[in-house]
Amino acid sequence: MRRRLTVNLGLKILAFFIAVFMWLIVVNIDDPVTEEVYNGVPVSVINEEVVTTTNRTYQVVDNTREVNVTVSAKRSILNKIKAGDIVAIADMKELSLGSQIPIEVTIPGYKYEKAYTSPGNLQVKIEDEAKNNFPITPTTLGTVREGFMLGELKADPEKVTLRGPESVINSISRVVAEADVSGLSGNADIEARLILYDANNNVIDQTLLANNLGKEGVSVEVKLYEIKNIPVKLDTSMITAAKGYRISAVNVEPREISVTGDEEDLEEFDEIRIPAEDLKIMELTERTERVVDISPYLPEGVSLVDENADSVVVSVSIEQPGVKNYEVSTSSITVNNLSEDLEITYGAVVDLEIQVRGPEEVLKVFSTARKVSIDLKNYAVPGTYIVPVAVELPEGCTLVNSVQVEVILEKKAEDKEEEMDGGNYG
């Protein structure tokens, strides 16, 4: 047995080494050493007291707080490494040239050939430390629940002390506490996010700043007001028509006004009533409109949702016996012979008033639908024109007054573009 083992011993040893060598080759071919780049690895700074104990501070510049790390290791290892496994450290004790700190990289728990960062140094700016007090302006994000609107906002605390690099402190223009009020339906204190802005409205990085807010942070006290739609009522007792005429209708637009206030202030407020003395219009012979300011009729503690919606329009329609008034929307006017290269819009008037005289039984059933038209065959050039309105009337009926409408004719959008394009080539 021993003889068999020792016969050709040299060849057997050589074969063993050849086998080991081949195994190493196969292993390296199958799992070679290669490189992988991991982006956005954060750099931690240690031994900051080297700077901060001398009433100075620093800020990271040139976007070097995050670096790219190149790792050289076997492919099987690289497949396991994640960016979060990589530790990049800048030791303030290694500060050189007053602005550069070498970045050291380690990957705990993994075997690798080498690892290095790009850039290789953390760039810092050393400067004096400063602090200042700033008022906090409360603001909101999102939309409160339907039927409510934002009222008063108050930041808690109302000011903050900030400490950090002098250049950063001096660049702060305003400090905001932003609270998310999405879906809010009642008064609340909401935890807020502190945001700093410079004079150009850019957000300032707070990484190297300290504040006195502590663990509680900042909050915003939000007060909500309820929204209520209140109908507008009219006392028309002092509106009269001239002899031989009669009032056919008195209308107000808008019919409802949106107001806001505390729930108790709105509870008993059910209508906005315009008194007769503010609607005194006597001896009317034609349709008349009056603009009325409604703000004096709002009770204390109640205000308009839209500050600009403080007026209503009261319109009084007048008829003569045997005469009936019809209101026709400009959108329902039939337009004939409009040039193909033009488009039409109307002036400020939305509704036309058409007065028709005729037998009462005929006027009761007469409708202006699709019977009001304008003819634009003589209006082929863009411009603003006063155009007569034609009304198709039943037999025995006539118009009391001629009806006209202001029309604005413009070239179609595509024709304008073609003209512009043609002008460019010219």
Sort strands 66-74 and 114-118 into parallel, antiparallel or unpaired: antiparallel
Q: What is the pLDDT of residue 426?
A: 43
Bin 307: left if φ > 0, else alpha if -120 < ψ < 50, else beta. Answer: alpha
User: Comparing C-alpha atoms, which of 90, 84, 3, 2 is closest to residue 38?
Assistant: 84
Give the C-alpha separation, 185 to 145, whole Å. 5
Give the C-alpha separation, 36 to 79, whole Å. 9
R_g (Cα) of the chain, nearest Å? 41
CA 413 from centre of chain: 29
Q: What is the pLDDT of residue 28?
A: 58
Give the C-alpha separation, 43 to 41, whole Å. 7
Beta strands in 235-376 (DSSP E): 239-241, 246-253, 256-261, 272-274, 281-284, 288-293, 302-304, 311-319, 323-329, 334-336, 342-346, 351-357, 372-375
Structure tokens at 249: 């209708």
Q: What is the pLDDT of residue 390?
A: 94
Q: What is the pLDDT of residue 231?
A: 94
Task: pLDDT tens for the chain, 426 residues: list them.
Answer: 455 555 566 666 666 667 666 656 655 556 788 999 999 999 999 998 888 777 788 888 888 889 999 999 998 899 999 999 999 999 999 988 778 999 999 999 999 999 999 999 999 888 888 999 999 999 999 999 888 889 889 999 999 999 988 889 999 999 999 999 999 988 899 999 999 999 999 999 888 788 999 888 999 999 988 889 999 999 999 999 998 888 888 999 999 999 998 888 888 888 999 999 999 999 998 888 899 999 999 988 888 988 888 999 999 988 887 888 888 999 899 999 999 999 999 987 778 888 898 998 898 889 888 899 999 999 999 999 999 999 999 999 999 888 999 999 999 876 655 555 555 544
Sort strands 398-399 and 334-336 into parallel, antiparallel or unpaired: unpaired
Longest Cα–Cα distance in the chain: 147
How many other CB atoms are there within 10 angstroms of residue 58's CB atom?
23
N-term to C-term CA, the chain: 107
Give the C-alpha separation, 68 to 36, whole Å. 10
Q: What is the pLDDT of residue 29?
A: 59
Sort strands 372-375 and 334-336 into parallel, antiparallel or unpaired: parallel
**Cβ neighbours of residue 118 closer than 8 Å, sequence gap 6 or more:** 67, 68, 69, 70
How many other CB atoms are there within 10 angstroms of residue 44's CB atom?
12
Give the C-alpha separation, 291 to 310, whole Å. 10
Structure tokens at 207: 């990484």
Give the C-alpha separation, 320 to 109, whole Å. 100
Residue recorded with tokens 């209508």: 271
Give the C-alpha separation, 66 to 169, whole Å. 23
Q: What is the pLDDT of residue 20?
A: 63
Structure tokens at 16: 């063993």
CA distances from 411 to 346, 349, 415 (A): 15, 22, 6
Structure tokens at 34: 């290669």
Structure tokens at 43: 């750099």
| DSSP alpha helix (H) spans, 31-124 | 49-52, 75-78
Q: What is the pLDDT of residue 368?
A: 86
| DSSP alpha helix (H) spans, 141-213 | 166-171
Give the C-alpha separation, 277 to 260, whole Å. 27
Beta bridge partners of 304: 259
- The burial class, CB within 10 Å (0-12 / 13-18 / 19+), for 262 is middle
User: Comparing C-alpha atoms, which of 53, 57, 44 is closest to residue 209?
Assistant: 57
User: Comparing C-alpha atoms, which of 125, 36, 133 is closest to residue 85?
Assistant: 36
User: Comparing C-alpha atoms, which of 193, 186, 189 is closest to residue 224?
Assistant: 186
**Cβ neighbours of residue 208 closer than 8 Å, sequence gap 6 or more:** 57, 58, 59, 60, 164, 165, 168
